[in-house]
Amino acid sequence: MAPMANGKICYVEIPATDIAVSARFYENVFGWNIRQRGDGARAFDDAVGEVSGTWVLNRPPATEPGLLLYIMVKSISAACDAVIRNGCDVLERSSESAPVVIARFRDPAGNVIGLYQERSLSESGNG
**How many other β-carbons are positioned within 10 Å of the β-carbon of residue 44?**
21
Going by their DSSP bridges, the two strands 11-15 and 42-45 should be labelled as unpaired
Residue 126's pLDDT is: 39
Residue 63 has pLDDT above 70, yes or no: yes
Is 85 contained in some domain? Answer: yes
Is 123 contained in some domain? Answer: no
pTM: 0.87
Q: What is the CATH number of the domain that holds 87?
A: 3.10.180.10
Helix (H) or strand (E) holding 9: none
| Inter-residue contact 117 to 76 (CB < 8 Å) | yes
Average pLDDT of the residues in 24-28: 98
Q: How many domains does the chain have?
A: 1
Domain that holds residue 44: 11-117
Residue 36 has pLDDT above 60, yes or no: yes
Chain mean pLDDT for the chain = 90
Residue of 52, 64, 76, 70 lying closest to 113 (CA atoms): 70
Residue 18 has pLDDT above 60, yes or no: yes
